[in-house]
């Protein structure tokens, strides 16, 4: 099941992304690595910024609820149809669907552990 964050307004999402990007690269990498291992970052500030970033990235939108296998299957279908009807735009659409699906899969894989583990005490104030 896909994990999605709480609904946030545009200003809060922008602040969360900027705050995460303002963290030193080492802190960002460490937060992601620890979250993948099932552990919280020891610095509560980094953990809180990481959680708000993940909540901003994983908004409750329809494309976050689509199973990860759907875009590659759709891309394959489009490529097969492109060869069957000799229409290269369908193959191009299949490639675009595949790239978009890969981007979403990477985004989920990196942000979901942060959203699960790094929830700060003040997170309920933003919901």
Neighbours of 85 (CB within 10 A): 8
Burial string for 12-49 (b: 16+ CB within 10 Å, else e) reads ebeebeebbeebeeebbebbbebbeeeebbeeeebbbb
**Structure confidence at residue 28 (pLDDT):** 92
CA angle 101, 109, 117 (to 5 degrees): 150
Taking the C-alpha atoms of residue 28 and residue 55, their distance in angstroms, rounded to an integer, is 15
Q: 0.85 cut: is pTM over it?
A: no
Provide the CA 63 distance to its chain's centre, in angstroms.
Answer: 10
**Structure confidence at residue 34 (pLDDT):** 92
Confidence of residue 123 (pLDDT cuts 50, 70, 90): low
Confidence of residue 124 (pLDDT cuts 50, 70, 90): low
Confidence of residue 68 (pLDDT cuts 50, 70, 90): confident
């Amino acid at each position: 099941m896909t994990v999605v964050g709480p609904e946030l307004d545009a200003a809060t999402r922008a602040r969360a992304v900027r705050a995460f990007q303002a963290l030193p690269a080492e802190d960002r990498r460490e937060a992601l690595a620890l979250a993948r291992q099932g552990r919280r970052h020891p610095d509560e500030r980094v953990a809180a910024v990481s959680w708000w970033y993940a909540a901003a990235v994983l908004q409750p939108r329809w494309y976050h609820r689509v199973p990860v296998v759907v875009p590659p299957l759709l891309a394959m279908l489009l490529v097969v149809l492109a060869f069957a009807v000799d229409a290269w735009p369908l193959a191009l659409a299949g490639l675009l669907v595949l790239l978009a699906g890969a981007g979403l899969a990477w985004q989920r894989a990196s942000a979901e552990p942060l959203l699960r583990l790094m929830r700060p005490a003040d997170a309920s104030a933003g919901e």
